[in-house]
Chains A and B, each alone.
Chain A
Amino acid sequence: MNPTEHPENLNPQPEIATEPIIGYCRATGKALTAADSEYVNGVLYSKEYAQHPKLKNEPGSPYTEPIVSVPKSTADISPGWAFVLGLIPGVGAIYNQQYAKGLFHIIIFAALISIVDRPGAGGPFVGFMIAGWFFYMPFEAYHTAQRRQRGEIVDEMSGLVNLPTGMKKLPVGPILLIVIGFVFLLDNLGLLRIDEILRFWPVLMIVAGIILLMQRLQSVGEVKEGGANAE
């Protein structure tokens, strides 16, 4: 075959347009060249049809319409209901559409109860933790519902991990899940005893104190630096 021969010439068609056709009018279906076409609301029309008064009221094409975010209705969010449902482990978070957090609540609750359940273990520390967790859940759901009512965007794991700003990047939730999972797995397989570890629970207070201390020292340092820069 002659390589210079145009494939269209093999199947000859009547030549109507000399200019390349760029599209077809949405209303009339007429083939349009670049010269006699016009875009109205992102839709291609022929030049003459584009003047049509009807087009002014035409709804835009869903493909080209600019995205307008519809404000979510917050009327059906009730903090009171969130609180009541929060008394059932996990349900308050589910009411706030935070399903992963609901699962997390249930897992923590079940884990605490299963620690207490084993003979000769638990003690007052775990008992108080259950009570505290039980009341934490409804209040957390209440406040999340309030924030949602105000139209704030609530993170899926909000309230669970409130970290100092420098640590926001760390995926604390997943790491916590993995650690908890490993501890329970080792305990279930008899390689580690949770109640042995729980004897050392005051260490948690020390760690919390150290974290708070570091935070305070950091913020003091920032204030000092800021003051130095301002001078």
Chain B
Amino acid sequence: MPSSVALIAAVRGPLILITLGTLIAIDHAGGLRFSRTWPILIITFGVLKLAEYMRGGQQ
């Protein structure tokens, strides 16, 4: 459905921002350092892009 593609595209920015915030919060809380967890950002972006493609392919 095109509407869900638009939805995924719309929530991509906020979701990446939330992920970034979470990773930095974990860093500050003394957990895993951000220097070790940053690839999660790339993975999140890739997964969202992939979801967009899949939805686009289904219509």
Contacts and interface: CB of A to CB of B under 8 A. Distances in A.
A182 B53 contact: no
A174 B49 contact: yes
Nearest to A183: B39
A178 B40 contact: no
A178 B43 contact: yes
Interface residues of B, number: 18
Contact of A184 (B42, B50, B52, B54): B42
A175 B46 contact: yes
A59 interface: no
A189 interface: yes
Main secondary structure of the interface of B (DSSP, over half): helix
B36 A177 contact: no
B49 A173 contact: yes
A6 interface: no
B39 A182 contact: yes
B40 A185 contact: yes
Interface in B14-59: 35-43, 45-47, 49-50, 52-54, 57
A181 B36 contact: no
A178 B35 CA distance: 18
Interface in A169-205: 169, 171, 173-178, 180-185, 188-189
B50 A185 contact: no
A183 B39 CA distance: 8
A177 B53 contact: no
A107 interface: yes
Contact of B39 (A103, A176, A181): A181
18 contacts: A103-B45, A171-B50, A171-B54, A173-B49, A174-B47, A174-B49, A177-B42, A177-B45, A178-B42, A178-B46, A178-B50, A181-B40, A181-B41, A181-B45, A184-B38, A185-B40, A188-B38, A189-B36
Given A171-B53, A181-B45, A188-B39, 14 more contacts: A173-B49, A174-B50, A174-B53, A177-B42, A177-B43, A177-B49, A178-B46, A178-B47, A178-B50, A180-B42, A182-B43, A183-B39, A184-B42, A185-B39
